[in-house]
A and B are shown apart, each in its own frame.
Chain A
Amino acid sequence: MSTRPQPTQQEKVMGDDDFIVSKTDLKGIITYGNRIFIQMSGYSESELLGAPHNILRHPDMPRVVFKLLWDTIQARREICAYVKNLAKDGSFYWVWANITPSLDRAGDLVGYFSVRRKPRPEAIQVVSGLYRTLLEAERKAGDGQAGMQASLAILNQVLEQKDMSYEEFVFGL
């Protein structure tokens, strides 16, 4: 996967009754993907297996979302997020992602399990606006920590205004 696909304005929409299922190891390397995953991402199973999950990362996504995501699942908590994914052919598809940690019998963290569903169009509208703002803040403040902090501050401000936790906010969309 040395060359990233060039993003296009082509959108793919998930089926109402479908969900994408994938599993990764602790580093985010894909260890399993179901057929819907293969179909939506445009990659073959063999291309997906062993690849990092971020091959699907769309440049429109603010980094702070993934930071929040990783921080949460590494703390062994569930996370839900709206994510814009990049398919192999450059098209994009929105998902309502839910990631939960996988524990073995001894209670050790062994990987992550992700289910991605078709999001409600109204939610996408709100989220894409918010993400644009966050992304802009990240770009303006430059890469690295500064950008992350700037967009995190905006996100917290939005939540504070709504007097909601992140979870409450995304589930309310």
Chain B
Amino acid sequence: MKNLSLGSRVRYLVGACLALFLLFGAMQVGHGLPTSQWAILTILFLLLGLTLYTVHRILKAISRLTDSLLSAARGDLDQRITGIRRGGATEELAWALNDLLDQQEAYFREVFSAFDHATRGQTFRLAMDQGLHGAFKDAMIRVNVSVESLGQVQQMALKEKLISRITDLNSGNLIKNLRSIQQYLMNMTQELTIVGQISSETAKDADGSRSTIENLVADLNQVAAMVAKTNAQISLLHEKGEEINQIVQVITDVADRTNLLALNAAIEAAHAGDVGKGFAVVAEEVRTLSENTKDAAASIATTIESFGQATSRMLEDSEQVKDLAEGSRNAVTEFRSQILKFADSAKASLGQVHKAQDLSFASLVKVDHFLFKQNGYRVLHQGSGSPEAQAIQTDHRGCRLGNWYYEGQGAENYSHVPSYHQLEAPHAGVHRNIQEAVNLLSHSWERNAETQAQIYSHFEAAERASEEVVQVLDRMVEERHRTA
């Protein structure tokens, strides 16, 4: 009997009662037991049977309750007792069990729903504690604190996720945009270098032209002086011609008078006859001589006249040359003042071109460093093995600005300006901080708040340094071109 369940035992007891009753009845057959005793006995057995039946039913109900409880203990909260008999011995127990399971099931479903929503960042769906009692209600109020903060965290995480994705998109495109500006500034700087060379040649040529024109002016002055001198000499020549003419006139007069005298002498010789014959010959010779002298004088006069005509023409021409020389000198003087103005403006524009060239270069190296920083930021999204991480390996001596500053035209043209020496520290700071931030990104920064703080402060320091680089560059250009 020990191994039998309570229900089976009750069933055996009911069976045993019935068997005893039948056995007793059979034993009394023929013994003539009084009817009243029979009746009492029957009622007794019936009562016993009824009691046992009731016990059996209670046990059955308890067994159902036990099943439900066992299910619940296994984590299955779905079971309920239904068809509960009103007024039954186990009615209250059954409902109490149902109520307990209702509390539990409602509690767990609420918790699940609330967390499910919170996980998706929906903060409006808190767990409802209404209708829960005692410890269930208390627990739910506490759960809601977690649900609420989880919801907020998830909401923020969702927001952050979008912001992060968009920032990534933005920075990717920013790099592309900056590269195009960088390319543009590189071309512009190159073009301006050529323009600078042309301008400086122009300025040199203008300076050359200035001395050429000065020489020309001097030459022309000399020419004008010489023309004036020549002019004077020609005038003198002309005057001398006149004097010669007068002398020739005197000679002609002398010859005429000699001729007349010779003629008179010939006549006198003829009067003298043969004695005068010799004298006649001399007179004839003298006459011939005077004729010849007169002819020579006439020929000289003719020559001198044509000489005079020639000198007159020369004088006229010379007068014209003088005017021309004067005109040229005026034109050249005018030209000279223009050339001087041109030389000055060529020099001024050379200064402007140099400034433009410097501004353009400064913009280019600014963009270089914006790009450098952007690449650093990109490593945050792209990881430390990305091309962006490679791109930031150059130090402050190896980059374009560094080359310019330490060896190139920067050192040559800028080392005298006051701000020149203020550039090195912030420039090195940009490179160093970005590189250190990226180095930290190769460690497990995602879960380490301290590393994150360090990364942030490096980026922050890089931004500050970059800001300073920009300001110093602007000052340097300003200072150089103010003093120049």
Contacts and interface: CB of A to CB of B under 8 A. Distances in A.
B98 A113 contact: no
A23 B109 CA distance: 13
Interface stretch (A31-39, A52-60, A151-159): A31-39
Contact of B82 (A17, A31, A98, A172): A31
A89 interface: no
B124 A45 contact: no
Interface string B68-107: 0000000000101011100000000001001100100110
Contacts of B84: 45
Contacts of A16: 130
A32 B94 CA distance: 13
B414 to A, nearest CB: 59
A45 B83 CA distance: 7
Interface string A10-46: 0000001111010100000001101100000000011
Contacts of A113: 105, 109
A104 to B, nearest CB: 8
A117 B130 contact: yes
Given A117-B130, A172-B124, A78 B113 contact: yes
A35 B131 CA distance: 13
A102 B83 CA distance: 21
B131 A167 contact: no
B243 to A, nearest CB: 125
A167 B130 contact: no
Contact of A115 (B95, B106, B122): B106
B113 A100 contact: yes
B125 interface: yes
A16 B131 CA distance: 7
A17 B133 contact: yes
A17 B82 CA distance: 23
**Would you call the interface of chain B mostly helix, strand, loop, or mixed?**
loop
A46 B109 contact: no
Contacts of A19: 102, 106, 130-132
Between A49, A113, A115, the greatest number of chain B beta carbons within 10 A of the residue's beta carbon is seen for A115
Contacts of A32: 80, 82, 98
B106 A46 contact: no
Interface residues of A, number: 25
A31 B83 CA distance: 10
A167 B130 CA distance: 18
A167 B125 contact: yes
Given A167-B124, A168-B124, A34 B130 contact: no
Contacts of B113: 78, 98, 100
B38 to A, nearest CB: 41
Nearest to B128: A117
Contacts of B102: 19, 21, 34
Given A102-B78, A167-B125, A117 B131 contact: yes
A23 B80 contact: yes
Contacts of B106: 19, 21, 115
Contact of A171 (B78, B125, B133): B125
Contacts of A171: 124-125
A88 interface: no
Contacts of B83: 45-46, 49
A115 B80 CA distance: 15
A118 interface: yes
Interface in A100-115: 100, 102, 113, 115
A46 B105 CA distance: 23
A48 B128 CA distance: 26
A23 B128 CA distance: 19
Q: Top 10 closest A-B pairs, CB basis?
A: A19-B131, A21-B102, A32-B80, A171-B124, A117-B130, A115-B106, A100-B109, A78-B113, A168-B124, A117-B131
Interface of A: 16-19, 21, 23, 31-32, 34-35, 45-46, 49, 78, 98, 100, 102, 113, 115, 117-118, 167-168, 171-172
16 contacts: A18-B131, A31-B82, A32-B98, A34-B95, A34-B98, A34-B99, A34-B102, A49-B83, A78-B113, A78-B116, A98-B113, A115-B109, A115-B110, A117-B131, A118-B130, A168-B124
Interface of B: 78, 80, 82-84, 95, 98-99, 102, 105-106, 109-110, 113, 116, 122, 124-125, 128, 130-133
Given A32-B82, A78-B113, 6 more contacts: A17-B133, A19-B131, A49-B83, A113-B109, A118-B130, A167-B122
